[in-house]
Structures are given as C-alpha cells and as structure tokens.
C-alpha cells in the first residue's frame, strides 16, 4: 500500500477523533484536529498548506484551549461553585460519557450539583447546588459550541488553502 495514503488516513483519523473530542471532554479535540491538519500538510511537504495557514490554525488552537479553560473557571466562580462542585463536574463529565449523549450533557450538571451538596452539607443547599449545576452545564454547552466552531473554521481554512495554494 502507498505510504502517502496511510499518512492521509492517519491525518483523517486524527481530525475525526478531534471532532469527537470537541464534544467529548476526555479528548483534546481542537489540538487533535490541528495535529491531523498539520500531518496532512506535511505529507505534501507543505506545498499546498504553508506556514501562514498553519500559524493561523495554531493560533486558533491555542486561543480555543485558553478560552476553554478560562471560561470554565469564570463560569464556575460566577455561580459560586466550590472546589467540590468543580471536582464533581469533572467526575460527572467523565462518568456521563458512558451513558451516551444524554450522559455527556447531564453528567456535568449532576456532578457539580452533587459536589456542591457535599460541600454545603445542609438541607437548604439544594437551591445553590442546582444553580451551580446549571451554571456548570451552561458553561459546558458553550465550551462545546466554541470548540465546534473552532474546529469547523480550522477545517474550512485548511480546505481553502489546500484548494487554492
């Protein structure tokens, strides 16, 4: 088999896994997409996709990762989440992956709410726990939307550079 075809197949796999990672929090989606696009450009010795395009894609990747971390922290602080709520959101996110798409969306909410209830340890904490859970859930949904926009923008920029070098 042609080694070039194998490299392109690997690049495509990286992009597809990265696309899934833009939705599933266990995978570094945007960096994987960047790695796949970089590999595809490398296969052609950067003839069609050069340094300027790859720099733009790299900057988009870096900004997306930074904004993702920043938005999560700010969103959690804004609703008064405790450290246990943040840990619960992370655990809930990973646990939710085993329950398909509903689990991916419900897991962070349930985990954050449970973590906040553990932190508060009082009966009146249910309202605060629900606010923290909802705030965390909104943050996760916004982060997924941002990552999907970044991934599709990167693929579009790459495709334009590939078709019109």
pTM of the model: 0.77
Q: In which domain, by residue range, is 101 found?
A: 3-163
pLDDT, mean of residues 143-160: 94
> Average per-residue pLDDT in the chain?
86
- Cα(79)–Cα(34) distance, integer angstroms: 33
Q: Please report which confidence band the pLDDT of residue 122 belongs to, taking 50, 70 and 90 as the band edges.
A: low
Length of the chain: 165
> Does the pLDDT of residue 16 top 80, yes or no?
yes
pLDDT tens-place string over residues 25-72: 667 899 999 999 999 999 999 999 999 999 999 999 999 988 877 766
pLDDT tens-place string over residues 60-90: 999 998 887 776 666 666 777 778 888 888 7
Backbone angles phi, psi at 27, to 5 degrees: -115, 140
Q: What is the pLDDT of residue 107?
A: 84
pLDDT, mean of residues 134-162: 90
> Does the pLDDT of residue 126 top 80, yes or no?
no
Nearest to 132 by CA among 99, 109, 106, 153: 109
**Number of structural domains, the chain?**
1
- Cα(102)–Cα(18) distance, integer angstroms: 20
- Cα(72)–Cα(97) distance, integer angstroms: 19
């Amino acid at each position: 088999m042609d080694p070039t075809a194998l490299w392109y197949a690997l690049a495509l796999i990286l992009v597809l896994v990265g696309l899934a990672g833009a939705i599933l929090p266990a995978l570094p989606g945007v960096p994987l997409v960047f790695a796949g696009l970089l590999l595809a450009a490398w296969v052609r010795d950067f003839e069609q996709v050069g340094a300027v395009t790859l720099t733009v894609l790299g900057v988009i990747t870096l900004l997306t990762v930074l904004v993702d971390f920043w938005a999560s922290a700010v969103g959690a602080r804004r609703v008064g989440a405790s450290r246990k709520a943040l840990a619960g959101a992370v655990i809930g996110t990973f646990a939710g992956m085993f329950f398909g798409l509903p689990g991916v969306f419900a897991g962070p909410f349930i985990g954050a709410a449970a973590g906040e209830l553990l932190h508060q340890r009082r009966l009146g904490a249910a309202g605060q726990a629900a606010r923290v859970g909802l705030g965390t859930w909104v943050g996760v949904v916004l982060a997924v939307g941002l990552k999907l926009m970044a991934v599709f923008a990167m693929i579009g920029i790459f495709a334009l550079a590939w078709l019109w070098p």
